C-alpha cells in the first residue's frame, strides 16, 4: 500500500493527515445517529469513512450509490446493491439467518419478496451496525422516497448512518434537513467537511509518497504538481501513482487526468438530456475566462446558442454549483477543479 495506491484507503497508516476529520466523525457517530461527510470529488470522503470503520472494527454496510443504474432508480435496483453488499459479510449472513423475508445460503443473501416491507425487516436485523450511503445524492433520482427511508431508520432503529456525497448542494437538496415539509426535517446530524490540502500539506504528501515508493523526484516537479493539482488529494495520488508506475511527464499525466474528469462530467450532465448543450456552453465560457461574471456567461452562451432566458440560465448555474462543478467567488464563477478546467479548455 502507501499514499499513492489509487484505491480508497482503508488503513490508518495509508491515510494522510485526516486526524481532525476522523475525530469529528467519531464523536458524531458516538453522540448522534447521522453523519454527513461532504467534500468535492477526490477530496478523500470514501477513504476517510472506510479507514474509520475498519480502524474501529465496526460492522458496516457500505453502499456506493454511484453503482446504481443511470436514469430512474427503482427500489429493486437498490435491493440488488444491498444484496450484493450484505453477501460479502459473514456477520451479515449470521444476522439475517432468522429473517423470513430473505434467504441466506452459499450464494449469499437474496430477498424473497422485493418490497419495502422486506427492506425494513432487513434494516431491523442490522440494528447496532453502521449503514453507509456513499454518493447519496444519486438516490434523489427515484420515485421511491429514500429520504423517508433514512428518516424511518433514524427515528425507529438503533442504526448509525453515514451519508456522503461529492455533489454537496444536490446532497442537501435530497436530504432537505431544513425543509419543514421533508421527512428528515430538524433531525440532528454532524457534518464532516473535507477540504483541500494547503501547498505545504501537498508537498509533504508528495514527498512522503515518493519516499514510500523509493522514487526520487526533483523539487521542480513537486512544485509543478502542487500548482497543477491544487491540493486535491485524489489528483495528487493519481499523479504520484502515474509517475511511479509509468514515468510519464506531468503534462501527459494532467491530460489523462483531465480526460477522466471530463468523462465524469459528461456522465453527470446526461441527466439534463437535450438541455445538456447549454450546460456545456456555460462551463466552456467559465473555463475559458477562468473567472466569469453572470453577464459574461450570458453573453457567451447567447453568442453561440441564441437567446437564453435569465431564469433558465439561473437554473443551469445553480445545478452546476450544486453539483460542485463551479463555485461563485465575489460575484464571479469559476470551475472548482483545476484539472477539469484544463480538460474543458483543451478538449471541449
Ligand X SMILES: Nc1ncnc2c1ncn2[C@@H]1O[C@H](COP(=O)(O)OP(=O)(O)OP(=O)(O)O)[C@@H](O)[C@H]1O
Chain contacts with Mg ion (rule: CB under 5 A): 45-46
State the nearest-atom distance from the C-beta of 42 to ligand X, in Å: 5
CA distance linking residue 252 with residue 105, whole number of Å: 49
Contact 337, 280 (CB under 8 A): no
Does 46 engage in binding with ligand X (CB under 6 A)?
yes
Stretch that binds ligand X, among 42-50, 171-179, 249-257, 265-273 (CB under 6 A): 42-50
Distance CA 8, CA 164 (A): 14
Tell me which residues in 216-275 interact with ligand X (CB under 6 A). Answer: 233-234, 237
The three cell numbers of residue 175 are: 436530504
- Of ligand X, Mg ion, none, which one sits near residue 54, judging by CB under 5 to 8 A according to partner kind? none
**CB-wise, 24 or 46, nearer to Mg ion?**
46
Q: Which of Mg ion, ligand X, none does residue 41 bind (CB under 5 to 8 Å by kind)?
A: ligand X
Q: Which of residues 273-292 bind ligand X (CB under 6 A)?
A: none
6 lies in the site for ligand X, by CB under 6 A = yes
CB of 54 to ligand X, least distance (A): 13
Does position 47 interact with ligand X (CB under 6 A)? The reply is: yes
Q: Does the footprint of ligand X cover residue 41 (CB under 6 A)?
A: yes
Q: Which C-beta is closer to ligand X: that of 41 or that of 160?
A: 41
Q: Is 45 among the residues that bind ligand X (CB under 6 A)?
A: yes
The region of 10-18, 121-129, 221-229, 307-315 touching ligand X under the rule CB under 6 A is 10-18
Residue 24 engages ligand X in binding (rule: CB under 6 A): no
φ and ψ of 327, to 5 deg: -140, 160
Residue 28 touches ligand X, criterion: CB under 6 A:
no
Residues lying near ligand X in the complex (CB under 6 A) are found at 3, 5-9, 14-16, 18, 39, 41-47, 166, 233-234, 237
Amino acid at each position: 500500500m502507501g499514499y499513492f495506491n489509487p484505491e480508497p484507503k482503508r488503513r490508518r497508516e495509508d491515510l494522510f493527515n485526516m486526524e481532525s476529520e476522523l475525530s469529528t466523525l467519531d464523536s458524531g457517530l458516538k453522540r448522534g445517529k447521522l453523519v454527513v461527510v461532504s467534500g468535492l470529488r477526490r477530496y478523500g470522503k470514501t477513504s476517510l469513512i472506510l479507514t474509520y470503520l475498519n480502524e474501529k472494527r465496526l460492522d458496516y454496510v457500505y453502499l456506493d450509490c454511484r453503482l446504481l443504474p443511470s436514469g430512474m432508480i427503482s427500489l429493486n435496483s437498490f435491493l440488488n446493491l444491498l444484496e450484493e453488499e450484505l453477501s460479502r459479510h459473514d456477520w451479515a449472513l449470521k444476522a439475517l439467518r432468522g429473517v423470513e423475508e430473505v434467504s441466506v445460503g452459499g450464494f449469499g443473501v437474496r430477498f424473497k419478496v422485493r418490497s419495502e416491507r422486506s427492506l425494513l425487516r432487513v434494516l431491523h436485523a442490522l440494528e447496532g451496525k453502521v449503514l453507509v450511503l456513499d454518493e447519496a445524492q444519486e438516490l434523489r433520482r427515484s420515485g421511491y422516497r429514500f429520504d423517508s427511508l433514512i428518516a424511518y431508520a433514524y427515528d425507529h432503529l438503533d442504526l448509525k448512518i453515514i451519508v456522503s456525497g461529492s455533489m454537496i448542494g444536490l446532497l442537501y437538496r435530497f436530504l432537505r434537513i431544513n425543509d419543514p415539509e421533508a421527512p428528515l426535517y430538524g433531525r440532528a446530524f454532524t457534518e464532516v467537511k473535507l477540504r483541500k490540502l494547503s501547498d505545504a500539506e501537498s508537498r509533504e504528501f508528495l514527498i512522503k509518497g515518493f519516499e514510500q515508493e523509493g522514487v526520487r523526484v526533483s523539487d521542480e516537479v513537486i512544485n509543478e504538481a502542487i500548482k497543477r493539482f491544487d491540493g486535491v488529494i485524489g489528483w495528487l495520488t493519481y499523479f504520484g501513482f502515474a509517475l511511479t508506475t509509468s514515468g510519464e511527464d506531468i503534462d501527459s499525466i494532467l491530460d489523462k487526468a483531465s480526460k477522466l474528469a471530463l468523462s465524469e462530467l459528461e456522465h453527470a450532465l446526461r441527466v439534463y438530456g437535450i438541455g445538456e448543450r447549454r450546460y456545456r456552453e456555460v462551463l466552456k465560457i467559465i473555463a475559458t475566462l477562468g473567472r466569469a461574471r453572470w453577464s459574461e456567461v450570458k453573453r457567451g452562451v447567447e453568442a453561440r446558442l441564441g437567446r437564453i432566458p435569465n431564469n433558465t440560465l439561473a437554473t443551469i448555474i445553480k445545478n452546476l454549483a450544486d453539483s460542485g462543478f463551479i463555485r461563485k467567488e465575489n460575484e464571479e464563477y469559476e470551475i472548482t477543479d483545476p484539472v477539469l478546467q484544463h480538460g474543458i479548455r483543451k478538449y471541449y
